[in-house]
């Protein structure tokens, strides 16, 4: 499926194909965009940070400051993306199309049991799940949750079924009463695929990851997860967040980047423990004034949004804020300097940036002086 053109890349469009490992990524972009802009567009698709991307065309590494037209990249061009080790974000590069591990394993015949015709159950694996509480089934080529998973019941604390082809998350997931972490990302789940009443009953859940799916709605039932510390709904098709998100009073990390969110509820201000918020690549035009309640906020990413302004008291109240991403927005440095508390924020930003530079100089033989581009 071809990736839609980024609204910041308007102009005479050309179609290019980016080769990344076993993946071919078709893009429609303006010939006048810079290589740097192209890397930003590729970041949410590949989960590789821009500074970790090396784009190669006809055997030459493309220069960030050059446009595609200046680099002789025309319609139908094929570009190779090489990713530097250690510069992936989130859960690392998307590898859903890569070779996956088989569901069943080769074990001695006396360790096998038949629950369904043709389904082999590894008793050792099931016993290990019950003993550790950790059910790890990422990239296992699954179309449904295996029956033996449900046998773990209240012993299950972590369920990772990410990067599969799971078609349904049934209500019976409520049987995992001790569940603390649930990873569902990268399954292509739709709104109809998840029985939210089951997830809503997981009162001990502290981390929920449902990124890289096809969700258009985050239902109000998410407000029942009052123990939640981390919520990742990035890379879906959400147009808003429910008012009930304000009930997540313990939430510390919210990742909702790369959606289609146009407005945020005022109730989000009740999530007063938020330390990290990523709303990049949405269609936001403003933030609610209740953002000034985030006295613990340290990182706020708002790149590639339609924002023209920020809540006036942001710097005055958010006294721990040191990272503010505003790439490809209409917010200027001049505007920021007029906000109360700018000088203190700028000092925190510079101090953090210097520490990062010091760490890179001491800990690595390579030095990227342009690595930190966020405010």
Those residues with Cβ within 8 angstroms of residue 128's Cβ, 6 or more apart along the chain or in another chain: none
Q: Which helix (H) or strand (E) holds 36?
A: helix 35-46
Percent of the chain clearing pLDDT 70 (strictly above):
82
Q: How many CB atoms lie within 10 A of CB 233?
A: 25
> CB of 55 within 8 A of CB of 39?
yes
pLDDT digits (tens, 9 = 90+) for 4-53: 444 444 457 899 999 988 788 898 888 888 999 898 888 888 888 888 89
pLDDT of residue 356: 72
How far, in Å, are 14, 230, 291, 297 from residue 240 at the CA level? 31, 18, 16, 21
pLDDT digits (tens, 9 = 90+) for 308-357: 999 999 999 999 999 999 999 999 999 999 999 999 999 999 988 787 77
**Both tokens assigned to 15:** 């179609």
Q: How confident is the model at residue 266 (pLDDT cuts 50, 70, 90)?
A: very high
**Both tokens assigned to 339:** 């906000």
The C-alpha angle 65, 67, 72, rounded to 5 degrees, equals 125
Cα(149)–Cα(170) distance, integer angstroms: 13
Task: Give the SS3 label for residue 34.
Answer: strand
Cα(198)–Cα(246) distance, integer angstroms: 20
Q: Is the pLDDT of residue 116 over 80?
A: no
Those residues with Cβ within 8 angstroms of residue 354's Cβ, 6 or more apart along the chain or in another chain: none
> CB of 193 within 8 A of CB of 167?
yes
pLDDT digits (tens, 9 = 90+) for 161-210: 999 999 999 999 999 999 999 999 999 999 999 999 999 999 999 999 99
**Mean pLDDT, the chain, integer:** 84
Write the class of the CATH domain 7-83: alpha beta
Domain borders along the chain are 7-83
pLDDT of residue 294: 93
């Amino acid at each position: 499926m071809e990736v839609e053109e980024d609204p910041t890349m308007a102009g005479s469009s050309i179609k290019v194909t980016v080769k990344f490992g076993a993946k071919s990524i078709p893009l429609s972009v303006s010939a006048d965009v810079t290589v740097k802009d192209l890397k930003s567009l590729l970041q949410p698709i590949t989960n590789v940070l821009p500074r970790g991307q090396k784009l190669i065309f006809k055997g030459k590494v493309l220069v960030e400051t050059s446009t595609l037209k200046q680099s002789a990249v025309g319609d139908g061009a094929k570009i190779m993306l090489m990713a530097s080790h250690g510069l992936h974000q989130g859960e690392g590069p998307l590898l859903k199309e890569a070779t996956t591990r088989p569901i069943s394993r080769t074990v001695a015949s006396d360790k096998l049991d038949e629950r369904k015709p043709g389904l082999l159950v590894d008793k050792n694996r099931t016993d290990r799940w019950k003993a550790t509480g950790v059910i790890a089934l990422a990239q296992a080529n699954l179309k449904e949750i295996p029956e033996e998973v449900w046998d773990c019941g209240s012993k299950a604390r972590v369920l990772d079924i990410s990067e599969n082809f799971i078609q349904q998350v049934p209500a019976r997931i409520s049987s995992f009463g001790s569940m603390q972490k649930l990873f569902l990302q990268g399954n292509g789940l739709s709104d109809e695929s998840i029985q939210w009443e089951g997830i809503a009953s997981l009162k001990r859940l502290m981390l929920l990851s449902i990124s890289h799916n096809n969700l258009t709605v985050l239902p109000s039932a998410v407000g029942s997860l009052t123990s939640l510390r981390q919520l990742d709904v990035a890379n879906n098709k959400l147009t808003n967040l429910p008012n009930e998100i304000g009930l997540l009073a313990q939430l510390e990390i919210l990742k909702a980047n790369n959606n289609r969110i146009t407005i945020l509820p005022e109730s989000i201000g009740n999530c007063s423990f938020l330390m990290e918020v990523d709303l990049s690549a949405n269609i936001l035009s403003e933030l609610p004034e209740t953002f000034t309640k985030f006295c613990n906020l340290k990182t706020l990413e708002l790149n590639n949004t339609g924002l023209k302004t920020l809540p006036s008291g942001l710097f005055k109240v958010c006294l721990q804020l040191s990272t503010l991403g505003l790439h490809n927005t209409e917010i200027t440095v001049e505007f920021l300097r007029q906000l109360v508390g700018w000088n203190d924020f700028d000092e925190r930003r510079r101090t953090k940036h210097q520490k990062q530079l010091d760490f890179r100089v001491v800990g690595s033989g390579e030095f990227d002086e342009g690595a930190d581009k966020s405010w």
